[in-house]
Amino acid sequence: MTDMSTTRRRLLVSGLAGAGLVLPGAAAAFAQAPRAAGRKLVVIVLRGALDGLAALAPVGERRYGALRGDLALEGGLPAPGPFVFHPALETLAGLFASGEALAVHAIATDYRARSHFDGQDRLEAATPAIRDGWMNRALALMGPDAPGAVGVGQSMPLLLRGSAPASTWAPAVLPGADDDTISRLMDLYASDPMLGPALARALETDAIASAMTSGSSMGGPGARGAGPQAYALIAQAAGNLLTAPGGPDAAVISFDGWDTHVRQGAREGQLANRLAGLDAAIAALRQQLSQVWDRSAILVVTEFGRTVRLNGAGGTDHGTGGAAFLIGGAVRGGRMIGDWPGLDRLYEDRDLYPANDLRSLFKAVLAEHWGLDPAGLARRVFPDSGAVPPFEGLIV
């Protein structure tokens, strides 16, 4: 609770390399996990609902241009079929090309309403009950030999909550409110004659001050908060943690800021900035995990997709089918898996049809990467999912 406007910048400038564990006993606890055999699993949760159609754009679809309007991409990075990767996803596209990443489109949980909180709960719990997370249940299934797990952030993500031990790690100094929260607050203050102008003036001043102190790209609009630059630093820190002697084998990272209702942007703009941040985080993980890369898998998931058509504010609203990625040296990549429903028929005439179930992806990773028994997965980790078969052959 110190002066965040300066400490946040220090965090961004100095990186997290020197930041220690928040819980001093954590490293010792992780040392107790022989079974993991160093098979690293990272789950990156993109909170706010990534627009999958922007990240992996079906530019070759007949109706693409008409449906996406100003959000339609021109150009992009190579991907199979009608798809291109968003130009900001350079690292991801590169790993895809080298066979170290795969993608699933039109994928969703079995949740069909459109609340972020409930959607994220379902993503992490994988059941309507929200007592614990599927990753924790998987660890519990492995018993005392389960690998150590860490949530990157101040609070334990639902994915890791439950009976199996897990830790949390956070940078010593947390960044203050992010740009997205600030812009939502500006909306909330729109009719407040005192707070609205006060916040607006403060942001102007803060932008000027940060431009003066850092003299770089940190200045100007968007200078405040945990922007894309912070993503890479957090990923780098998570990578350090995963490769530290006695470090955990599983990590959960959360990146906020994907709720692009307004001015989403196409090649450039706020979503492109977030995607660049995600890409930088992937690059940082690739680098930090290089020693264990052939035993690493990184899941990138989000709670749901967004509307196919843009809304009246140049953004997209909450949808259903989204995109997910599995990245790593352990991944049999270079391809897209699952079904592609196309854009001719939309879910409720607005969303990408949810043709694939995220649990198929989760089950496959847990079975093939961590060697969990499929029967146990169906019974204890993903209850009532007998009708949802795992994908096959995702891990080398």
Residue with Cβ nearer other proteins (113 or 244): 113
Look at the alpha carbons of 203, 230, 136, 42 in this order and tell me if their dihedral is positive or negative: positive
Single-letter amino acid, residue 186: M
Please identify which residue in 127, 167, 236, 254 interacts with other proteins, judged by CB under 8 A: 254
Helical H segments across the chain, by residue range: 4-14, 26-30, 52-55, 64-68, 90-97, 116-125, 134-141, 179-188, 195-214, 228-243, 270-288, 358-369, 374-376
Q: Both tokens of residue 263?
A: 């001015």
Using the rule CB under 8 A, is 202 a contact of other proteins? yes
Binding mask 161-190 for other proteins (x = CB under 8 A): -------------x-xxx-xxx-xx-xxx-
Beta-carbon count within 10 A of 141 CB: 18
Residue with Cβ nearer other proteins (232 or 252): 252
Q: In whole angstroms, what is the distance from residue 185 CA to residue 191 CA?
A: 11
- Interacting positions 222-251 with other proteins (CB under 8 A): none
* Nearest of 45, 67, 44 to residue 57 by alpha carbon: 67
Using the rule CB under 8 A, is 37 a contact of other proteins? no
Q: In whole angstroms, what is the distance from residue 150 CA to residue 170 CA?
A: 10
* Nearest of 299, 333, 262, 370 to residue 107 by alpha carbon: 299
Residue with Cβ nearer other proteins (67 or 278): 278
Mark the segment that binds other proteins (CB under 8 A) among 17-25, 41-49, 243-251, 285-293.
41-49
Distances (CA, A) of 250 to 30, 141, 292, 334, 369: 10, 15, 13, 24, 12
Query: Min. distance of Cβ 345 from other proteins in angstroms?
Result: 28
Query: Min. distance of Cβ 35 from other proteins in angstroms?
Result: 28
Residue with Cβ nearer other proteins (86 or 114): 114
Contacts of residue 393, Cβ cutoff 8 Å, sequence gap at least 6: 332, 368
Residue with Cβ nearer other proteins (92 or 182): 182
Residue with Cβ nearer other proteins (52 or 153): 153
Query: Min. distance of Cβ 192 from other proteins in angstroms?
Result: 5
Please identify which residue in 27, 53, 135, 158 interacts with other proteins, judged by CB under 8 A: 158
Cβ–Cβ < 8 Å for 345, 330: no
Query: Min. distance of Cβ 228 from other proteins in angstroms?
Result: 16
- Interacting positions 95-134 with other proteins (CB under 8 A): 115-117, 120
* Nearest of 396, 321, 322, 324 to residue 361 by alpha carbon: 324
For the chain, how far is it from start to end, CA to CA, in angstroms? 46
Using the rule CB under 8 A, is 205 a contact of other proteins? yes
Please identify which residue in 22, 29, 97, 203 interacts with other proteins, judged by CB under 8 A: 203
- Interacting positions 282-341 with other proteins (CB under 8 A): none
Query: Min. distance of Cβ 156 from other proteins in angstroms?
Result: 7
**192, burial (CB in 10 Å: exposed 0-12, middle 13-18, buried 19+):** exposed
Residue with Cβ nearer other proteins (185 or 388): 185
Residue with Cβ nearer other proteins (181 or 287): 181
Query: Min. distance of Cβ 257 from other proteins in angstroms?
Result: 7
* Nearest of 167, 113, 109 to residue 136 by alpha carbon: 167
Angle of helix 90-97 versus helix 270-288 axis, rounded to 10: 50
- Give the count of residues interacting with other proteins (CB under 8 A): 48
Using the rule CB under 8 A, is 13 a contact of other proteins? no
Q: Rule CB under 8 A: which residues touch other proteins? A: 1-5, 47-49, 115-117, 120, 153-158, 174, 176-178, 180-182, 184-185, 187-189, 191-192, 194-195, 198-203, 205-206, 254, 256-259, 261
